[in-house]
Each structure stands twice: as structure tokens, then as C-alpha cells.
Chains A and B, each alone.
Chain A
Amino acid sequence: MNKTTASDVERNTLTQPSRRLSDRLATILISVGGTGVILVVAAIFVFIAYETLPLWIPPSIEHSSSLKPSDTLGTLHVVGVDEYQLVAYGVTSRGALVAYDLRNSRMLAVELTESSDTLSAAYSDVQEGTVTWTTRSGRIKVSKIMVSRNPAQPESIRGVSFKEIGSFQVPPGIVIKKVVGKQLRDGGIGTAALSDGGEVYYFHSRTTENRITGKTVEERSESQLPVSTDEVISCVALDHVGSKVVAGTDRGALLVWNVQDPDEPTFVERTEVREGDTLSAVEFLLGDQTVIVGSVRGTVRSYTWVADTLSSIGRKLVFLNTFNSHSSRIESITISPRSKSFLTLSTDGEALLHYQTTAKTLLQVETPSRLQFAAFSPKGDGIIALSNDGVTAFRIDNPHPEVSMHILFGRVQYEGYAEPTYTWQSSGGTDDFEPKFSLMPLLFGTMKGAFYALLFALPLALFAAIYTALFAHPKIKNVVKPTVEIMAALPSVVIGFIAALWFAPVLEQSFVAITTTAVLIPLSVLPGIVLWKLLPAKLTHRLPAGSELLAIFPSLILIGYAGYLLGPWIEQVLFDGNYRQWLYEVLGVTYDQRNSIVVGFAMGFAVIPIIFTISEDALSSVPQHLTAGSLALGATRWQTAMRVILPTASPGIFSAAMIGFGRAVGETMIVLMATGNTPLMNWGPFVGMRTLSANIAVEIPEAPHLGTLYRVLFVSGLLLFLFTFVINTVAELIRQRLRQRYSTI
């Protein structure tokens, strides 16, 4: 259209300057605006892709501050840090509690307890800010750090103090070599202690206040956990609710006690986790469903409890993942209070950060000198490490550790699962819930929905297009095409609503009758033909070719009625009067009311118009002389259609099917309404599904902005975008080539 460039120059000299200016301005404006619009449209893709990028950024760690504590109170044993990573605290070898300001190494608080007694073991739990330690004289203390600050400005610290929340005494003469102490969820204090001799003691105290009298009562209990093997216990762990104590032995077994009743702990199970290896560290992961086990050889593995009907306690420990090994004995395992991350530390000072679900080792924590202890910050976004040089604080930037390619597309064994599965379960009731982001059930559901839709729509649309383009009378054509356009314009929310609230119950009630009708439909040709032949030949000959449709309508209605009448009878004869019961008893399938058939029907209804229009277009634009030639050679209408027109137009029909498929893949409202939206992986026609698009619609309003779920949903959106875009582009290219071919024939 733009062939006037050559004369532009000449004309410009003749036209008025104002008009020349406005012409120039318009050119600039339209060019800028036009490219702008196109760029904006392209930006959609870029933006969606950009939102998913942070998922793939590897975690990073950076040194934030360090301090050198004074040695006058003894050397630090374990450390912890507050939630803003400003206050570092710990217990020293002489049993002194100290707290420092990480910004300026200033000592904020110190509390000396029973000085001159040396520490034998210590434990730090950053989640509640507690430090537990035990002395050679057999005293166990649990203290909590209290940081008071200005709520508006968390950086300004008003004061730091320690509060003793638990104190226990080990039987005389026994030296504790490992201790675990926690403030439990119910407010009680639980402490498990392992002695040099391999005995495990459990101490528990809980202070309750009587609501009426206001008096406080302290319940205390201490007990030695019963052991029935001759193995030597080498490490011990306690969960966050005070119900389980786990210990590792020198022969690679895990022993589990139930300490829910602290007065009478009971031995529950013994599981061999590693043949012959001495276990050196064990710890519960956040959520208490999984334990991480480290051995003297430096290996790290995780085990989880799964339901087991054969076991007397209803569950058993199974192997979950192996992580990168250390080259020496694992000294300690500390867990993140916010995620399924944990940190392993070995004798040679190597510290590795792992993520349980992905079984990945994310990074290594490095300090200038040998690392002795490391713990997470309460928000899980930092690490505080204790080395020969003093205390070092790190910040870790690892916003989305729970996602990897394997998580999204592979089988993953989650906590509490007996085997690897594809599971989508993005949120749960509790904070320690492990989100499961497998896109496979959603991809599966998407494909299944589109498959059922095409199964229904493709034959209908295609044959209808063949009839309309090749056989129907032009007058019928003039009615059919606008009708189909109206069908295309129907909002999918209306189709979905009819499918779910009208069609689904009707189908459930008269499934057999409807199936019967569907089977009978091809037969409906017969009464039509009979009717046609019955009409006086004079009349039928006078009607132009392609008027068959007039006879087809009544016979279709007739067949529909026959199916309606036959249905109950067939159900009685074949399925004993109740097909749902029959399905359940004979085939073992349950019938969901909103199932794949309903979706296939509704979504098929939605894609029929597009398949019909495109294939009708391809068929009717086959050059006239091909048809005429074939008919002139004596071929019948059907032969011409099958041998000449259909092969020529087949690329167009193929692209129609592809575009229809793309439409079905992206359809949201129909699937949202007409299925139960359960992310199943089951091809069965009587169960529902959840598709990518419906999943986005359901979950994105609840997804926290820039959170992992939000980004994972953007990944699924990106997949949808790419998939439909590629399909449509290929289909469009095929159509363009076809058009070119038509013009050359």
C-alpha cells in the first residue's frame, strides 16, 4: 500500500509548510505509537518471564559482621542471634551467658551463673532464643534471651537480659556429653541429655497458672529413657512439641521414645538407618516429621515417618534423601526455623547448607579459621557462626530454596510420603507445612481436559464444516455461519455454569440414556433417509442438492427421544438398574458429578466454533476448478470431497485442530466451574482434574506477592503462554502456506 515514497520528495516542496509539518508529526507519532503498542504487547512475555527469574538465582551468602569476644569469661561454646541479626548471644566454657551488639562488638549483657564450674555440653535454639547448657557438676540450665526494643525502630535496642526458664539436676556422678533443650509449643521446657555412659535422661517442667486462684503450679519430671539394646547411644534429639526423643547409636540405628507423658517415657521403635556406621548427630527438621542424621564418616541423610499399617505403632521411618558428604565426622546439625533448610558442621570445620526437599546442598559457609558452631537466624535469612577467630554473622539470600526443575517436573518424595510422587499442594494449615509444587498434575489435567474437549469437538466441528462447505445449500450456509459465530461469542462463564449446574446433574441422572443417544446418533441417518425417500420424488428432485438437513433435524429429535426411552431399560438390563453402583462394583470407579465428560462436553462446545470456522474456511476456499474437474470426470460429490478437496485442505484442517487445542488448553472458567479442581493424575472419564489455567485463577489471589507460590504460578503462566503461542504460530504459518498454495494451483 505504501508505494508513494518516490514522489514524496517532490511533493514536499510544493505543499504548505504547516501541512508538511503535520505530516511529519503524524509519521513520528504513528511510528512511535505503533511500535510502542507492539512493544508493550511483547512486554507481557518479558514481564512474565522476568517474574520467574528469581526462582533460578542460586543462593548467596555474604559476610555481614563479626566480633571478637573477650576470653575473660571463658570461650564461647554455642551462639545464637536475634531476629534482626543485631544481637549475638551465647554461653561460655565457664557457664556465663553473654550478649554482644554485632554492629560494634559492645557487650550488651552478661550473666554469671555458678562460676568456676566448667561447661560439659551446650545447645542453642534460635527459634525461641534459648540456650541450654550443662556443667560438669550435673546442672542443666535453660535460659532465654530477652531483647527489648522500640517497636517502631527495631534497630534501637533498649536492653538485653537473660531469663532462666528451666533448671534441672542430673543424678550425681554422671557427666553429660550432649544436651538438647527446647521451649516446647505448650510453653513447657524439655531437655534431653546424653551421658558419657550412653544413658539418655529426659527432663520436663511446665508452669501453669490457675485461672481462678492466680496461683502458679510447676510440674516437674525427670526420667531415664529405657533402653533395651546393648548399643551405645551416640547422639540425641528432641522435637518441638515434646513428644519424641530420637537417639542415634554406634551401630547405625535410630531409637525413638515417646515422651508425651514425661513421667513415663516409653520406647517406641528401633530403625536401622545405616548398617554399622556410628551416628554422630541427629536433629528434627522443622515440622518434626523428618530427622536428619549425620555419621562419623561425614555422610548426611534424611529419614521421614510414613504411615504403615503393618507396624504396631502405625508408622515407620523411611529413607528420604542423601546430601553432599563431609570428609570428617558430623559434629552438629542445626535447622532453619523458617524452612526445610539445615546446616551440617563437621569436625574439620566444614559447614554446608542443605535443603531437604530438593536434596540439594546450597552453599558452604566459610570462615577464616576453623568453624566450631553455626546456627540460623530466627527468620532463616542469616547464619551466625562461631570459629577460633570469634563470632561471624552472615546474611543468606535464598528466597526460593524450595523450587528446582526437579521439584516442578519430577517425582519428589516429600516428608511423610512413602514414595516419590507428583504432587501439587501449595499451602497448608500450619507454618511448617512443606509446599509441594509439582506442575505435572496440572500439566496432566490441562492435557486431559483439552484431549476430552477435542475428542468431542473435533469430529463434530470437522464433519459439520465438511457438510457446510461442500454439500450444504448456500441458504443453509448463510444461516449456519452466523449461528456458529454466535456460538463463538457465548461467554465461557455461561457455558461453564450450564455445564456444571445443568448438564452435570442431568448427565449424572441419565448417564445411560445420554450414552445410548450418543451411540444411536449415527443411526439417525436412517430414519432421515427413509423420510427423504418417502417424500414424493417430484418434491425431492425439485429441492436443490444439500437440503438433506431439513430431514436430519426431525430424525435427530426422534433418535434423542428413542435414547431417552431406551436408557432406563438398558440401565435395568445391563447395569442392574443403577449404573453408578455397577461402575463402583465392577470397574472399581467412583463417579464424580463434575467429571471429565462434563468438561470435555463444555469445553468442546466452546472450541467447536473456532475449529469449524477455520476448517470451513480452508475447505470452501479450495479452488473451484479442482472440484469442477473432479465432478466433470464423473466422481460423485462424496468422492470429490474425500479424494480431492479434503487432501488439499488438510493442512488447514490440521491448523484448525491445533488452534482449537490451544484454546482448550487456555480455557479457564469452564474448567474452574465444571470440575472439582482436584489435582489428580488419572485419565478416567468419571473423575475431574485441575488445569494450569484454573490453578492460576484459584491460587493467585491468595499468593503473597513475590513469594514462591506467586513465582511458581508465573512459571505455569509462562508455560501456558509459550505453549499456546507456539501452537498458534505454527498453525498460522501452515495456514499462510496453504493460502499461497491455493493461489498457485
Chain B
Amino acid sequence: MKQFLRSGDLFIWLTGVFLGICLLMISGLLLLIGLQGIAQFHPREVHFIEYQDQEGNRLLAFGQIYSSEQIPPDVLQQKGFRGASQREARRYLVRVGNRDIFGEDFKWIMGPTVTRDTLLANALVLEREENGNAYGILTTLRAPRGQHFETELDAWRAFERFHPLVRSLVHEVRDIEKREMGETNDAIRSLRLELRLMEYELEQGRLQPDQFQEAQRHIDAEVSKLELVLARQQDRIDSLRMHLAEYEIGLRVYAPEGEERVRIPLASIVRAYKPNIMSVSQTIAFYGEKVWEFVSDDPREANAEGGVFPAIFGTVLMVLLMSLAAVPFGVLAALYLREYAKQGLLLRIVRIAVNNLAGVPSIVFGMFGLGFFVYFVGGGVDRMFFPERLPNPTYGTGGILWASLTLALLTVPVVIVATEEALAAIPRGIREGSYALGATKWDTIRRVVLPSATPGIMTGTILAMARGAGEVAPLMITGVVKLATEMPFDSTFPFFHLDRKFMHLGFHIYDVGFQTSNVEANIGMVYTTALLLIIIILLLNLTAITLRARLRRKYRLVGF
């Protein structure tokens, strides 16, 4: 043992312990996010819980258990659950739902007060467009033309038959609202803008008053025509809504004091399921449906439910725009630094400076983006090209273009460094061979150097994308929003609307986890979003790592 101590092996073990901790932490974190993120879509069972309050009254709770924790000792003493042992003394966070009726979504129930806890086979979970989930037991279903289904079984069958139909009508209404009416509204808006522009020209004296009145008459006529179209579209929606209102279900819900009956319009129900009697295949199907909803749908309920499609779209588009700006310029700068510039002290300083820019806090870049792109350039663009819309800013406010350019500045050092490395790794013999054949320098770069460096540039690009996808702080001040009603890319001319604000997965995490009130309900969503973001970034990084490994192997073979 003495010799063991003297040899210092003990300390080697100690250093090993520290490495072990690092590895445990990273794997623990990934595991935590992975498990929590996946568990979010699990159809939790609905418990029927009877418990007692302080005075010994019998109360009911009907809902899904979201989490449980040990009751702190002081609370335990205070409430006087002496009989309960430490192990049993847990409290449960039960989502009782029915926010529109009971007021609150979640309820803590002390384990020791529970007198009965059963799973009812026909317990029904309703995911709704608003007001969160509803829990209850289906009693009736009413459909148009006097169709009534009075037993639970009939009503459920009818529900399964009618629900897809109703939902497709709901989607139709939404489609009319969003697409058709949106287009009409856009047309009206652009006509009004046209008028505003003319007014502006009139004020500037570039337009004669009679010309203006002529144009105004014309535009007014167009607008009133469009308003008629709008009214017709509204009529269609109204009649569809009226039809939809005829479908409704009756639900037996459990308030703490006892049963209540409520009616819920079928149109407001997104999904209904009976988690207590789901078979394995049903669970898997349910799971798949939820995952699909998550990646393909718009968020509902202040981002706490539904999907994150706009955030995925915003992230991807932003990263692409960023690469479009960062990669060509980064490669250009690297080519200059490595191939054209005179190597010397000045270049060394520049190189160190470029390297170190990667270490400058991202918020500083964000600040620059806000001051320079948004206020200076954007404000200038507005004054030059959109003076008629002022004081409402067009480009003089945060938007996807400015956010992408800001991130491009942030990531351009990554591209420069990676490209320089790739250029430096190309053996000199290859270049000299090219020169020996009579190629000019540009020929050599274009035909020999750049193709060989492509994997390196790709690696840099991907690393830059991964870094860009994970940054949030600079975006927060240059154009990201919690809920973007309009996407930066859509079917109205000119299709790309780079002045629009956008949603972002990273910001979504911050927003849902920190800027909403109902954190218990949202935390699952945050985990899932985090999981998605991590998967995207890890995939990007793994691609970069493998590419780099391949690159190294390649040059080991070619090397001299």
C-alpha cells in the first residue's frame, strides 16, 4: 500500500475520477433530456383519486399524474401526517385539466391523504384548441338533424365517426380564414399602401392633385370590390361555424366536490383518447401521431401545446441564410489570408484577431446587429425606400435578415479558421504540380486547391451552422419572437419576406420555460424542444466530425 501511495497511482485514480464525473454529467444531461423529451408524448393514465382535506371532507380529483416528490419534512410536520413514513410521504402533481371550469390546471395532492386511487376504463382525455385538456367520462353526443347518442358506447362510436369530419371542416374554416381571407386582406393592405405612397408623393409635390384623385378613386373602387369578397368569405365561414356548432358532446367531469356535466363543442376538440385502456399498438400509433404533430403543426395555447413547426422552419431558414452570407465571405477571407496576403507580422495579428472574434460574447454581436443592421442599415432602407410607411418600420426593426447577418458575423471566424486549416493542409507538391503544368494561380486555386479543400470548408460550414443554430442571445434582440403569425416564406409575392420576425427553437425553449406562467404544464414541451434542438445540433456536429476524420485520413495518404 505504501508503495502504491508513493508511486502516485492514487492521484492518477483521482484524475480519473474527475474525468468520470465529466463523462457522467454529459451523459446524465443527455439522458435526462432524452427521457423527459420522449416521455412528453406518453399517454399518461387518468387516475380517479379520492382524498381528504384538512377538515376530513372527501374530495375528488380526476386527472393525469405529471410528477411526484418527497414532501419536505417541515410541511410534513405542519400538516401532521405522523402516521406516514418517509417513503410514503410523497405528494403528486395531478393535472386535473378543465381549466375553463375549475380555474386551475394542476393540483398538488398529498399522498397520505389519498383514500382511493383507481383507473376507470372509460376515462377520456380531450385535447382542446384552448383551455387545455379536459378529463371526464363521455355521456352523450349530439349531431345535426336530431341525432342523439345517449350511452357512453354509442357516443364514443359516434365520436370516432364524426370527429374526423368535424376536424376537416375546422381546417377548412381555418384555411379560408388564413389563406383566402389573408390573401384578400393582403391585397387590400397593399392597395392602401399604394395610396399612402401616392399621398406621400403628393406631399412631396411629385404628383398632381388631379392625378392623385383619379388614382384614389380607382383604388377605392378596388378596395370596395375586395371588401365584398371578404364579406362573402366571412359568410362562408359563418355558415360553416353554424353547422359545426351543432356537434357537441356531453361530458361528466369531476369537480373536487362531486360530479358535474358539461357540454363541449366537437369542433374545439383536437384529439380524444382513453389512455387507461390503450393497447400497445394504439400507444405506438398515438405516440407517432403526437411526434408528427410536434414537428409539423403550429403551436397552440401560448406555445404550451401543439407543434413547433414555425420554430423549426425559422431556425432552418435562419441558419441557411446565415450560411449563405458567412460561407462565401469566410472562404474569400481565408483564401486571401492564406494564398494572397503577404505573410508577416501584420497578417499574424489579423489572424489572431479573427481567431479571437470567435471568443467575443455573442450578445456583443447581437448588440452590433441591433445598432448597425436594424437601426442604421434598416432605418436607412426605410427612409430610402419605404418613407410612406414611416413611422411604422419595415426593415428598421428586428427581422430574419438582420438576425441571419448578425449570426453570419458571429460564425464567419469559424469558417475562416476551418478553411485556412484546410488550405494549409494541402501539400505544397500538389500546387507546384499545377504550376509546373502552366496553370495560373487562379487556375490552381479553382481547379486544385479549392476542390481539395472542400471537405474542410464543409466541416467549417457545418460547425458554423451548429453554432448558429444553438445561439439565442443575439437573436433575442435582432428579430426573434415568441409567436410569429406570418412565416418569413409564404405564397404571397415576393415569397421571401426577410423583414419579418421569426420563431426559433432555442428561443422557444427560453420563452416557454421562462416567460409563461404555467411552467408545470409547459415543461414537457420545453424538454421536447430541447431534445429536438440537441438532435439537430448533434447531427450537424457528428457530420462535421466524420468529415474531418475522413479529411485527415485522406491527407495522411497524400502527404509527403
**A interface residues, Cβ below 8 angstroms from B:** 1-2, 4, 7-8, 11-12, 14-15, 19-20, 22-23, 25-27, 30-31, 33-35, 37-38, 40-42, 44, 47-48, 51, 459-464, 466-468, 471-472, 480, 482-487, 489-498, 500-502, 509, 521-522, 524-525, 528-529, 548-549, 552-553, 556-557, 568, 577-578, 581, 605, 608, 612, 636-639, 641-642, 659, 662-663, 665-669, 672-673, 693, 696-697, 700-701, 705, 713-714, 717, 720-721, 724-725, 727-729, 732-733
Within the assembled complex, what's the spacing in Å between the Cα atoms of A460 and B14? 11
Further 15 A-B residue pairs, CB within 8 A, beyond A30-B335, A724-B356: A4-B432, A12-B440, A19-B442, A27-B441, A33-B332, A44-B364, A460-B18, A461-B22, A464-B18, A483-B27, A497-B513, A696-B366, A700-B477, A701-B477, A725-B360
Query: Which of A19, A31, A666, A728 lies in contact with B364, CB distance below 8 A?
Result: A666
B26, A27: Cβ atoms under 8 Å? no
Within the assembled complex, what's the spacing in Å between the Cα atoms of A547 and B53? 57
Within the assembled complex, what's the spacing in Å between the Cα atoms of A468 and B86? 43
Residues of B contacting A725 in the complex (Cβ-Cβ under 8 angstroms): 353, 356-357, 359-360
A578, B74: Cβ atoms under 8 Å? yes
Which chain B residue has the least Cβ–Cβ distance from A462?
B18
A638, B364: Cβ atoms under 8 Å? no
B8-48 vs A, CB cutoff 8 Å, 1 = contact: the mask equals: 11111111111111111111010011000000000000000
Residues of A contacting B72 in the complex (Cβ-Cβ under 8 angstroms): 509, 578
A493, B363: Cβ atoms under 8 Å? no
Which chain A residue has the least Cβ–Cβ distance from B379?
A705
Q: Can you sample 27 A-B contacts with CB below 8 Å? A: A11-B438, A26-B441, A27-B441, A30-B335, A33-B332, A34-B332, A47-B371, A462-B18, A467-B18, A471-B12, A471-B16, A472-B16, A483-B27, A491-B469, A494-B509, A497-B510, A500-B513, A501-B519, A548-B12, A548-B16, A578-B74, A605-B29, A612-B22, A637-B7, A637-B12, A696-B477, A728-B359
A556, B356: Cβ atoms under 8 Å? no
A669, B473: Cβ atoms under 8 Å? yes
B101-120 vs A, CB cutoff 8 Å, 1 = contact: the mask equals: 00000000000000000000
Which chain B residue has the least Cβ–Cβ distance from A460?
B18
Q: Any chain A CB within 8 A of the CB of B362?
A: yes
Contacts A23-B443, A521-B17 given; indicate if A605 touches B368 (C-beta within 8 A).
Answer: no
B367, A713: Cβ atoms under 8 Å? yes
B371, A721: Cβ atoms under 8 Å? no
Nearest chain B CB to A150's CB is how many angstroms away? 15
Contacts A525-B10, A553-B20, A724-B361 given; indicate if A492 touches B367 (C-beta within 8 A).
Answer: no
Query: Which of A497, A717, A727 lies in contact with B363, CB distance below 8 A?
Result: A717
What does DSSP make chain B's interface, helix, strand, loop or mixed? helix
Q: Any chain A CB within 8 A of the CB of B193?
A: no
Residues of A contacting B12 in the complex (Cβ-Cβ under 8 angstroms): 467, 471, 548, 637-638, 641
A522, B14: Cβ atoms under 8 Å? yes
Nearest chain B CB to A713's CB is how many angstroms away? 7
Residues of B contacting A665 in the complex (Cβ-Cβ under 8 angstroms): 361
Nearest chain A CB to B15's CB is how many angstroms away? 4
Residues of A contacting B363 in the complex (Cβ-Cβ under 8 angstroms): 666, 668, 693, 696-697, 717, 720
5 tightest CB-CB pairs across the interface, nearest first? A34-B336, A638-B8, A666-B361, A491-B470, A463-B18
Within the assembled complex, what's the spacing in Å between the Cα atoms of A467 and B69? 38
Q: Any chain A CB within 8 A of the CB of B476?
A: yes
Residues of B contacting A459 in the complex (Cβ-Cβ under 8 angstroms): 18
Residues of A contacting B21 in the complex (Cβ-Cβ under 8 angstroms): 460, 464, 521, 556
Q: Any chain A CB within 8 A of the CB of B134?
A: no
B473, A697: Cβ atoms under 8 Å? yes
Which chain A residue has the least Cβ–Cβ distance from B365?
A44
Which of chain B's residues 273-298 have a Cβ closer than 8 Å to chain A? none
Residue of A30, A525, A637 ringed by the most chain B CB atoms within 10 A: A30
Nearest chain A CB to B414's CB is how many angstroms away? 12
Which chain A residue has the least Cβ–Cβ distance from B549?
A482
Query: Which of A500, A556, A724 lies in contact with B514, CB distance below 8 A?
Result: A500
Nearest chain A CB to B154's CB is how many angstroms away? 44
Contacts A666-B363, A668-B473, A724-B360 given; indicate if A525 touches B545 (C-beta within 8 A).
Answer: no
Query: Which of A35, A482, A498, A693 lies in contact with B545, CB distance below 8 A?
Result: A482
Which chain A residue has the least Cβ–Cβ distance from B446?
A26
Query: Which of B333, B375, B519 lies in contact with A705, CB distance below 8 A?
Result: B375
Residues of B contacting A464 in the complex (Cβ-Cβ under 8 angstroms): 15, 18-19, 21-22
B13, A553: Cβ atoms under 8 Å? no
Within the assembled complex, what's the spacing in Å between the Cα atoms of A578 and B72? 9
Residue of A486, A492, A727, A732 ringed by the most chain B CB atoms within 10 A: A486
Nearest chain B CB to A312's CB is how many angstroms away? 41
Which chain A residue has the least Cβ–Cβ distance from B504?
A493
B412, A41: Cβ atoms under 8 Å? yes
Nearest chain A CB to B23's CB is how many angstroms away? 6
A468, B19: Cβ atoms under 8 Å? yes
Residues of B contacting A524 in the complex (Cβ-Cβ under 8 angstroms): 17
Which chain B residue has the least Cβ–Cβ distance from A20?
B440
Query: Which of B15, B352, B507, B509 lies in contact with A732, CB distance below 8 A?
Result: B352
Contacts A44-B409, A669-B473 given; indicate if A552 touches B13 (C-beta within 8 A).
Answer: yes
Residues of A contacting B361 in the complex (Cβ-Cβ under 8 angstroms): 665-668, 693, 720-721, 724
Stretch at the interface among B156-164, B182-190, B248-256, B534-542: B534-542
Residues of B contacting A26 in the complex (Cβ-Cβ under 8 angstroms): 441-442, 445-446
A1, B438: Cβ atoms under 8 Å? no
Q: Any chain A CB within 8 A of the CB of B222?
A: no
B506, A491: Cβ atoms under 8 Å? yes
Q: Any chain A CB within 8 A of the CB of B228?
A: no
B17, A33: Cβ atoms under 8 Å? no
B438, A14: Cβ atoms under 8 Å? yes
B428, A33: Cβ atoms under 8 Å? no
Residue of A461, A493, A498, A502 ringed by the most chain B CB atoms within 10 A: A493
Stretch at the interface among B91-99, B166-174, B338-346: B338-346
Nearest chain A CB to B19's CB is how many angstroms away? 4
Contacts A38-B333, A48-B368, A638-B9 given; indicate if A732 touches B355 (C-beta within 8 A).
Answer: yes
Which chain A residue has the least Cβ–Cβ distance from B74?
A578
A697, B341: Cβ atoms under 8 Å? no
Contacts A30-B332, A463-B15, A466-B15 given; indicate if A662 touches B359 (C-beta within 8 A).
Answer: yes
Contacts A51-B371, A501-B526 given; indicate if A669 touches B18 (C-beta within 8 A).
Answer: no
Which chain A residue has the least Cβ–Cβ distance from B434?
A4
Residues of A contacting B4 in the complex (Cβ-Cβ under 8 angstroms): 529
Nearest chain B CB to A478's CB is how many angstroms away? 11
A31, B336: Cβ atoms under 8 Å? yes
Q: Any chain A CB within 8 A of the CB of B431?
A: yes
B343, A491: Cβ atoms under 8 Å? no
Query: Which of B340, B470, B541 lies in contact with A485, CB distance below 8 A?
Result: B541
Residue of A38, A492, A500, A720 ringed by the most chain B CB atoms within 10 A: A38
Within the assembled complex, what's the spacing in Å between the Cα atoms of A2 and B372? 37
Q: Any chain A CB within 8 A of the CB of B70?
A: yes
Which of chain B's residues 521-551 have a Cβ closer than 8 Å to chain A? 523, 526, 530, 533-534, 537-538, 541, 545
A549, B477: Cβ atoms under 8 Å? no
B438, A15: Cβ atoms under 8 Å? yes
Nearest chain B CB to A580's CB is how many angstroms away? 9
Query: Which of A461, A636, A724 lies in contact with B8, CB distance below 8 A?
Result: A636
Contacts A486-B538, A493-B509, A494-B33 given; indicate if A15 touches B440 (C-beta within 8 A).
Answer: yes
B20, A552: Cβ atoms under 8 Å? yes
Residues of B contacting A672 in the complex (Cβ-Cβ under 8 angstroms): 473, 510
Q: Any chain A CB within 8 A of the CB of B370?
A: yes
Q: Any chain A CB within 8 A of the CB of B423?
A: yes
B18, A489: Cβ atoms under 8 Å? no
Nearest chain A CB to B382's CB is how many angstroms away? 13
Contacts A467-B18, A501-B519 given; indicate if A491 touches B332 (C-beta within 8 A).
Answer: no
Contacts A1-B339, A459-B18, A498-B33 given; indicate if A33 touches B431 (C-beta within 8 A).
Answer: no
Residues of A contacting B469 in the complex (Cβ-Cβ under 8 angstroms): 491
Residues of A contacting B8 in the complex (Cβ-Cβ under 8 angstroms): 636-639, 641-642
Residues of A contacting B341 in the complex (Cβ-Cβ under 8 angstroms): 31, 34
